[in-house]
DNA sequence: CTGAAAGCGCTAACAC
DNA sequence: GTGTTAGCGCTTTCAG
């Protein structure tokens, strides 16, 4: 058996004929536009049901909206980002908008490719999560299509933002560890060289928050940072370096849970016990931080919540493209688990 | 500062004028179509660069292709699925196709919504990963747009498939445990009630593979299955049931890594040690199975590889819609780690 | 309140 | 090898 020949799509013309009205009328009913009588709406709706009509987005896109919003996530392997997507999808579930996601792969070139592809496909709006692209690129994108940027700090007149207070989050961790009695608290950061990004990227802000919090606790002499990447391997390599230092840190604050996973690995290979010999804290409170055998102390960012808020902001922006931009900032909380305890001795 | 007024898009007409050729010529060059001289191609390319032209997908979609493929994943929280998406994205990276993903949320209604949205948006092809929809729905979709189904067993004349040999995978686990000396090996499955799906869904096949392998080892009297869901909570509840049985199983084969996470939790709460008191095995070999503190024995499905093959199949199918459908089946391998060992005593 | 008609940007016959 | 032209399905003036 061959695949069945494509049945020709039902169009607005078919619906109009069936309902004995004009195509204009159908179009108006579809968009809940002004100027349709109740009985006309009823007849058109009936015809739509009878024929199983569904609007063809490409055709709509040529004149008006596509009812599609694009989401770019940096890395779907990091379990924190799916939470955000989930929040976005939930918020838009009951609307006519369909959410479509593409991975940005943590690179400027890849991100540019994705944002252009989305613009070319007529997205009505875009949500860019923790993009690494330059601010000017982001503003150019936002100039073409309503855009919400998630995770980057710093306000722009071109796009709305939703972010988490990474400065406060880092302080939460440092304070928690210091309260337990730790002094030699080290940090593993995601290396940020581009000076223009250093003020905006969450990873850089966390490192800064760590420094400030250490100083605030009078621990400036103990500040100790290793720069790798926000990956499991980055955590592994970073921890290896830290463990050879002498005196050895009694606690490691990893900039992301995924980094903490690598740290745990290195610590275990070094024959050390967590938390008896060394305390570990992560960031993001991802699902695997909560897993029994891991039970990682981590900073919770409420990813879902970030997602729903970003979606709402985008809908508002699509509705009014010239209103002033908004900046929503959430406060993180600390979830303490079994990887942190008072220092040995 | 207001967002800058939208600069009007550069169209094919602008390019044609700039290059002093017809719009047809530009269109042909864009599609590498037959009948263009080298010098014309050069001039058109030059004009495209000069003007920064990019084709508008919505307009293309009205006549031909949109150069977009849609991927539906059941659940992006399960870290196995991102691997597949990664494989797909990689395979299509150098092509003109853009990959766009939407979550199917493990429900027939949600899946229908997503597949329709993708069809409405003129996707050139779709890859549906582990869909729960009825076969007839899948075939209807495949009749409208080239489709590859990943994970479901059973051949269809309407769509190509890529799957993993779940029967063999389950046997790998049972044999491994039996070789270690276990006899009371229990299984936690994802409950499948729909008889039409029971023959196709990977979860059902795994349960079946477990039963067959147990019989093949002469352990038919020890067959013990708990039906919950492929979630962490499902694993937790399932394990709680199993641990109260007497005699207690000495090994639990969880149908998915995420399930094994819940099992580990329940086992730990019951005060039992893994693997000394009880062995645990999972399925999917997700990133967290490999994490040091977890180190879960699991079946590897090579998700990336599944993704790249599905993408290739889809490209082939887009190129020739009537060629016979293909069924690719991969063989899983077992990765043994620290959660399995000989039974106590 | 309703409908006729003009495109949106692109592709595909079909002529030249 | 190249250009002219007629739409694809929808939205949007603009008359009636």
Q: A78-120, pLDDT tens digit by residue? A: 889 999 999 999 999 999 999 999 999 888 999 999 999 999 9
Q: In angstroms, what separates the C-alpha of A293 from chain B's closest C-alpha?
A: 6
* Nucleotide of closest approach to B37 (CA, C1'): D1
Cα B136 from Cα B275, distance rounded (Å):
45
Contact of A305 with A330, CB cutoff 8 Å: yes
List the domain boundaries for chain B.
12-55, 68-164+303-330, 166-301
Contact A57/B at CB under 8 A: yes
Evaluate if residue B230 carries a pLDDT over 50: yes
**Biggest alpha carbon distance in chain A?**
87
CB atoms within 10 A of CB A155: 12
CB atoms within 10 A of CB A67: 19
User: Given an 8 Å threshold on Cβ–Cβ distance, is A261 in contact with B291?
Assistant: yes
Cα B93 from Cα B87, distance rounded (Å):
10
Q: Does the nearest atom of strand D lie within 7 Å of A31's Cβ? A: yes
A44-48: list long-range contacts, CB under 8 Å, 24+ apart: A44/A15, A44/A19, A46/A19, A47/A15, A47/A16, A47/A18, A47/A19, A48/A15
Contact list in A for residue B142 (CB cut-off 8 A) is 3
The domain B68-164+303-330 belongs to what CATH superfamily? Response regulator (3.40.50.2300)
* Closest alpha carbon to A302 in A315, A318, A283: A283
* Nucleotide of closest approach to B56 (CA, C1'): C9
> How would residue A193 be classed by pLDDT, with cut points 50, 70 and 90?
confident
Going A15 to A20 to A21 to A22, the CA torsion angle's sign is positive
pLDDT at site B105? 87
Q: What angle do CA B118, B122, B128 make, to 5 degrees?
A: 35
pLDDT at site A245? 94
Give pLDDT tens digits for B237-268: 999 999 999 999 999 999 999 999 999 999 99
Give pLDDT tens digits for B139-163: 999 999 999 999 999 999 999 999 9
What H or E segment, with its residue span, contains residue B142? helix B135-144
As a whole-number percent, the residues of chain B with pLDDT over 70 amount to 98
* Closest alpha carbon to A179 in A219, A150, A207: A219
pLDDT at site A3? 38
Contact B13/A at CB under 8 A: no
Residue A186, SS3 per DSSP = strand
Beta bridge partner(s), residue B282: B298
The pair of structure tokens assigned to B154 is: 């059973």
User: Given an 8 Å threshold on Cβ–Cβ distance, is A3 in contact with B77?
Assistant: no
CA distance readout (Å), A28 to A21, A97, A282, A305: 11, 18, 52, 35
Contact list in B for residue A144 (CB cut-off 8 A) is 6-7
Residue B59, SS3 per DSSP = helix
Contact B117/A at CB under 8 A: yes
Evaluate if residue A288 carries a pLDDT over 90: no
Cα A302 from Cα A297, distance rounded (Å):
15
Q: Does the nearest atom of strand D lie within 7 Å of A33's Cβ? A: yes
Cα A121 from Cα A137, distance rounded (Å):
18
Mean pLDDT of B185-191: 96
Mean pLDDT of A179-187: 98
Going A278 to A283 to A285 to A289, the CA torsion angle's sign is negative
Which residue is it, tokens 């149908």?
B255
Cα A27 from Cα A40, distance rounded (Å):
12
The pair of structure tokens assigned to B302 is: 């090579």
Q: Does the nearest atom of strand D lie within 7 Å of B62's Cβ? A: yes
Which residue is it, tokens 């086992």?
B267
User: Given an 8 Å threshold on Cβ–Cβ distance, is B291 in contact with A265?
Assistant: yes
Evaluate if residue A298 carries a pLDDT over 70: yes
The pair of structure tokens assigned to B274 is: 């893994």
The pair of structure tokens assigned to B238 is: 């399932």
Count how many pairs of residues, chain A against chain B, have C-beta atoms within 8 Å.
Answer: 156
Evaluate if residue A257 carries a pLDDT over 70: yes
Evaluate if residue B206 carries a pLDDT over 50: yes
Sort strands B333-335 and B297-300 into parallel, antiparallel or unpaired: antiparallel
User: Given an 8 Å threshold on Cβ–Cβ distance, is A4 in contact with B143?
Assistant: yes
pLDDT at site B7? 59
Contact of A33 with A41, CB cutoff 8 Å: no
What H or E segment, with its residue span, contains residue B245? none
Contact list in A for residue B6 (CB cut-off 8 A) is 143-144
pLDDT at site B4? 39
- Domain A166-301 sits in CATH at 3.40.50.2300
pTM (2 d.p.)? 0.94
- Tell me which protein residue sits closest to nucleotide D8, measuring alpha carbon to C1': B62
* Closest alpha carbon to B268 in A291, A264, A269: A291
Helix and strand counts by DSSP (H, E) for chain B: 13, 12
* Nucleotide of closest approach to A60 (CA, C1'): D10
Contact of A14 with A48, CB cutoff 8 Å: no
Contact of B168 with B116, CB cutoff 8 Å: no
Closest by Cβ to B116, choosing from A1, A54, A288: A54
Q: What is the 3-state secondary structure (H, E, C) of A136-178?
A: HHHHHHHHHCCEEEECCCCCCCCCEEEEECHHHHHHHHHHHHH
pLDDT at site A4? 40
Contact B77/A at CB under 8 A: yes
Cα A291 from Cα B262, distance rounded (Å):
8
A321-CA/D8-C1' distance, Å = 30
Contact B296/A at CB under 8 A: no
- By the 10 Å C-beta count (0-12 exposed, 13-18 middle, 19+ buried), B11 is classed as middle
CA distance readout (Å), A307 to A82, A200, A304, A325, B293: 10, 19, 5, 17, 31
CATH class of the structural domain B12-55: mainly alpha
> How far does Cα A265 stand from its chain's mean position?
27
Nearest chain B residue to A53 by CA distance is: B120
pLDDT at site B149? 98
Contact of B57 with A121, CB cutoff 8 Å: yes
Same CATH topology for B68-164+303-330 and B166-301? yes
User: Given an 8 Å threshold on Cβ–Cβ distance, is A322 in contact with B54?
Assistant: no
Give pLDDT tens digits for B55-114: 999 999 988 799 999 999 998 888 899 999 999 999 999 999 999 999 998 889 999 999
pLDDT at site B192? 86
The pair of structure tokens assigned to B198 is: 């029971």
Residues 39-78 of A with CB under 7 A from strand D: 53, 55-56, 59-60, 62-64
pLDDT at site B198? 87
B111-117: list long-range contacts, CB under 8 Å, 24+ apart: B111/B72, B111/B137, B112/B137, B114/A98, B114/B72, B115/B72, B115/B141, B116/A54, B117/A98
pLDDT at site B195? 85
> How far does Cα A263 stand from its chain's mean position?
24
* Closest alpha carbon to B77 in B293, B331, B300, B284: B284
Q: What is the 3-state secondary structure (H, E, C) of A269-311?
A: HCCCCCCCCCEEEEEECCHHHHCCCCCCEEEECCHHHHHHHHH
Residues 155-214 of B with CB under 8 A from A: 157-158
Contact of B163 with B151, CB cutoff 8 Å: yes
Contact A1/B at CB under 8 A: yes
User: Given an 8 Å threshold on Cβ–Cβ distance, is A121 in contact with B142?
Assistant: no
Torsion on CA atoms A145, A147, A152, A156, rounded to nearest 10: 70
pLDDT at site A50? 93
* Closest alpha carbon to A339 in A310, A302, A298, A297: A297
Q: Does the nearest atom of strand D lie within 7 Å of B38's Cβ? A: no
Going A286 to B297 to B105 to B96, the CA torsion angle's sign is positive
Cα A284 from Cα A301, distance rounded (Å):
6
User: Given an 8 Å threshold on Cβ–Cβ distance, is A62 in contact with B58?
Assistant: yes
CB atoms within 10 A of CB B169: 28
pLDDT at site B1? 35
Contact of A249 with A226, CB cutoff 8 Å: no
* Closest alpha carbon to A314 in A101, A112, A97, A119: A97
Beta bridge partner(s), residue A298: A282, A335
Residue B334, SS3 per DSSP = strand
Going B208 to B211 to B215 to B221, the CA torsion angle's sign is negative
CB atoms within 10 A of CB A224: 18
Residues in chain B: 345
């Amino acid at each position: 058996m061959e695949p069945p020949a494509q049945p020709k799509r039902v169009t607005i013309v078919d619906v109009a004929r069936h309902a004995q009205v004009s195509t204009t009328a159908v179009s108006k009913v579809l968009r809940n536009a002004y100027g349709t009588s109740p009985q006309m709406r009823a007849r058109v709706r009936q015809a739509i049901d009878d024929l199983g009509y569904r609007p063809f987005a490409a055709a709509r896109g040529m004149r008006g909206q596509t009812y599609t919003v694009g989401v770019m996530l940096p890395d779907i392997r990091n379990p924190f980002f799916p939470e955000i997507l989930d929040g976005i999808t939930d918020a838009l579930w009951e609307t006519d908008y369909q959410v479509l996601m593409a991975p940005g792969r943590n690179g400027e070139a890849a991100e540019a490719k994705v944002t252009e592809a989305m613009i070319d496909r007529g997205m009505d709006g875009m949500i860019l999560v923790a993009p690494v692209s330059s601010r000017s690129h982001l503003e150019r994108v936002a100039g073409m299509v309503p855009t919400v940027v998630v995770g980057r700090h710093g306000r722009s007149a071109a796009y709305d933002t939703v972010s988490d207070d990474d400065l406060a989050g880092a302080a939460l961790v440092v304070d928690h560890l210091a309260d337990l009695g730790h002094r030699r608290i080290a940090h593993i950061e995601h290396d940020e060289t581009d000076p223009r990004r250093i003020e905006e990227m969450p990873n850089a802000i966390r490192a800064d928050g760590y420094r400030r919090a250490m100083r605030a606790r009078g621990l400036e002499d103990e500040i100790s940072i290793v720069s790798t990447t926000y990956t499991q391997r980055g955590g592994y390599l970073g921890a290896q370096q830290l463990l050879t230092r002498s005196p050895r840190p009694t606690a490691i604050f990893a900039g992301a849970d995924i980094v903490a996973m690598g740290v745990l690995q290195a610590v275990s290979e070094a024959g050390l016990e967590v938390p008896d010999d060394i305390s570990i804290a992560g960031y993001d409170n991802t699902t695997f931080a909560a897993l029994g055998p891991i039970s990682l102390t981590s900073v919770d960012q409420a990813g879902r919540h970030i997602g729903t808020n970003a979606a709402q902001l985008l809908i508002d922006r699509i509705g009014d493209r010239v209103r002033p931009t908004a900046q929503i900032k959430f406060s993180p909380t600390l979830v303490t688990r079994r990887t942190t305890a008072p220092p040995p001795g």
